[in-house]
Amino acid sequence: MSIDDENSVLIELIQAQPILYDLRAEGFCNKRKKQEVWEKVNSEWNEKRIVPTDVESTKARWKNLRATYGRNKKKLPSGSSSSDAIVWPLFSAMRWIDKYEVDRAQLSSQVSEDIDVFRYESDQDENDYGRSRNECTETEEKEKEKTNIEINAEERANQDRHADEGSENFHFAMDIAHTLDRLPYEKQKEKKRRIMNIVYEDDI
């Protein structure tokens, strides 16, 4: 298999994994999930290669492919198609990525449309296709904050429950509840009404 053939296979494998390049994909900012996908891509790519490679080398190869595509894309005269110029053999195989460059331009008001997207991709894991590191960080912080709020609420509920369970009144109420459970439904209603009248009679 030639180098171009290997690269073509890698391009196809990555195209099948939007999380690696589509900033709208679920999990785009999830480093752990993306690493798992990279390992999957690397494993599948190694099945096609004569000499296996590691995940970091696979990432580096993809970064090179993106950069090469970006340089060749700049060479095309405005309004030209890939067939109008003598360019890199894998140029056409990379054309699908253009859609995600457009998405990046539309979603980032801070980046002008004529700036090449590849200048913003020095870190594949955190900065794919113009998605700024700040955007991912903000998303992660919001998720972390949401998780912390949920954890704190649960902890407070547990603390309140434990405090209640240590109260004499709590155990008294539980004894009454168990007694009521053994009675017919109509008697339960009557006794609950009488209990409530007794409890609140000083407030009436």
Asked if 106 contacts 118 with a C-beta cutoff of 8 angstroms, the reply is no
Q: What is the pLDDT of residues 133-177, one digit of tens each?
A: 555 666 666 666 666 676 666 666 666 665 555 567 767 777 788
Q: Please tell me the predicted confidence (pLDDT) of residue 189.
A: 83
Mean pLDDT score across all residues of the chain: 76
Give the pLDDT band (50/70/90) at residue 81. low
Q: Which residue has the higher pLDDT, 199 or 60?
A: 60
